[in-house]
């Protein structure tokens, strides 16, 4: 017991004493008003009670880089129970990494306690991945155990200062992504850091430090040990970062695209499939940057469509009926995907609806087009059809017809449907005249 205590003291002491640089507002460029009211209020409340509290991590990094943060996290020396006691609308969550959710109006803040450095007593799996992480420590230790230098930045909204333990501000200015500590060890602790490195580099236009980049290719297989739910969350962050096109390019460059989406690496090796996927990712990036809503179901439907299409074609060729074959193909592709990513049932439902509506766009006569317009997922399915046309998979005339049909008034819609409907009526009348009770006229 005493030996364990001594190991912790001597192992963590140097981290706590790591020199910290205090950067004033005229150098870091962050204005207090740029921090959300909820984050400011949480920091002020904790500091009034005698605790240290800072806006931390990605929000500080993005503000210095001139990017508006999506959310704000707070780090403090108060324990989760102490934080919980100060805020009525709060709750403690998590097992591996315990944090407090503090609700301030419509905003939910994640408040974490400073973590201690990992040591021999840290619970890890056989690959070195940390399984439990709730040992509290000093602010210096908390900074040292963060992944990248640009994420080890602490902003005090009261004093308007940035505390920088590992030259993160300098790395941002030099456009370099540098790891804190030994990259190999840090990747073993959490293999998701390899994906995060690619995402941050793409988002901020950074180059990977050679020491960070070198081990990625040989350690990429460690991602197989990450729980599927956590990997799915990280993939969503990557795909909805607003820089998905650049992220996918860098994933391929680093050799990380194989196996993440089990079917994506196959698609990206096919010219037609790659064009379709890249068009979808570019469209998603535009929507994210414009602040518009995005749909995980739609994006995953595009990423996996060509594999579903190939599976469907092989089933039809084997003699299966078209629609049952399509549904069987959808299940097969999504089941294979579920082995790697924990796609939620709701998202799977959205994917299937978008795919199942595609054959119905071929029917442009009778009541079928009008019934298709009434489908809840019509708009998403039509956007999907437009992407198929833009990539060259189908004739653009079909998507243009549906563009006009959905925007047209009743009279114009009837005109667009009339040719096919009229042919159908003429065929019906012709069959009626040729029945035994109605001999056809000689002119026929």
Q: Which residues are catalytic?
A: 71, 73, 147
Q: Identify the CA nearest to 45 among candidates 84, 4, 10, 92.
A: 84
3-state secondary structure 381-438: HHHHHHHHHHCCCCCHHHHHHHHHHHHCCHHHHHHHHHHHHHHHHHHHHHHHHCCCCC
Residue with token string 């900074």: 143
* Long-range contact pairs involving 263-272 (C-beta distance under 8 Å, separation at least 24): 263/303, 263/304, 263/307, 263/333, 263/336, 263/337, 264/303, 264/304, 266/307, 267/303, 267/304, 267/306, 267/307, 270/306, 272/306, 272/391, 272/392, 272/393
Contact 154, 56 (CB under 8 A): yes
3-state helix, strand, coil in the chain (%, to 5): 60, 10, 30
194, two tokens: 């390899």
Backbone angles phi, psi at 76, to 5 degrees: -150, 165
Q: Identify the CA nearest to 359 among candidates 368, 349, 346.
A: 368
CA atoms within 13 A on the CB side of 119: 21
Q: Identify the CA nearest to 83 among candidates 70, 69, 98, 105.
A: 98
- Measured between alpha carbons, how far is 73 from 39 in angstroms, rounded to an integer? 7
């Amino acid at each position: 017991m005493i030996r364990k205590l001594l190991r912790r003291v001597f192992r963590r002491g140097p981290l706590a004493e790591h020199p910290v640089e205090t950067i004033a507002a005229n150098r870091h460029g962050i204005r207090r008003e740029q921090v959300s009211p909820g984050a400011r209020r949480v920091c002020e409340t904790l500091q009034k009670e005698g605790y240290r509290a800072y806006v931390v991590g990605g929000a500080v990094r993005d503000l210095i880089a001139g990017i508006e943060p999506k959310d704000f996290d707070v780090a403090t020396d108060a324990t989760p129970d102490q934080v919980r006691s100060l805020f009525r609308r709060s709750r403690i969550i998590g097992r591996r990494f315990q944090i407090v959710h503090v609700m301030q109006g419509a905003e939910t803040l994640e408040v974490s306690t400073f973590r201690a450095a990992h040591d021999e007593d840290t619970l890890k799996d056989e690959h070195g991945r940390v399984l439990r992480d709730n040992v509290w420590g000093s602010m210096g230790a908390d900074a040292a155990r963060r992944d990248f230098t640009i994420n080890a930045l602490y902003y005090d909204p009261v004093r308007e200062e940035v505390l920088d333990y590992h030259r993160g501000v300098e790395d941002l200015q030099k456009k370099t992504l540098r790891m804190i500590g030994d990259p190999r060890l840090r990747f073993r602790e959490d293999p998701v850091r390899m994906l995060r490195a690619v995402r941050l580099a793409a988002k901020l236009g950074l180059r990977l430090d050679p020491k960070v980049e070198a081990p990625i290719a040989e350690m990429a297989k460690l991602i197989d040990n990450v729980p599927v739910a956590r990997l799915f969350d990280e993939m969503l962050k990557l795909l909805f970062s607003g820089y998905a096109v650049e992220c996918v390019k860098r994933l391929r460059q680093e050799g990380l695209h194989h196996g993440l989406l089990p079917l994506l690496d196959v698609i990206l090796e096919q010219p037609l499939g790659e064009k379709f996927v890249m068009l979808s990712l570019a469209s998603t990036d535009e929507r994210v940057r414009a602040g518009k809503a995005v749909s995980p179901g739609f994006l995953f439907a595009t990423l996996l469509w060509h594999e579903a299409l190939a599976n469907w074609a092989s089933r039809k060729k084997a003699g299966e009926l078209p629609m049952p074959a399509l549904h069987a193909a959808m299940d097969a592709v999504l089941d294979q995907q579920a082995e790697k990513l924990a796609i939620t049932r709701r998202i799977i439902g959205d994917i299937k609806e978008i795919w199942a509506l595609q054959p119905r766009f071929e029917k442009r006569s009778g009541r079928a087009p009008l019934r298709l317009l009434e489908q809840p997922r019509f708009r998403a399915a039509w956007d999907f059809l437009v992407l198929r046309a833009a990539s060259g998979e189908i004739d653009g005339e079909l998507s243009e017809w549906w563009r006009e049909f959905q925007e047209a008034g009743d009279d114009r819609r009837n005109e667009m449907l009339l040719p096919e409907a009229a042919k159908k009526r003429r065929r019906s009348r012709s069959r009626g005249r040729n029945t035994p009770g109605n001999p056809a006229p000689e002119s026929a």
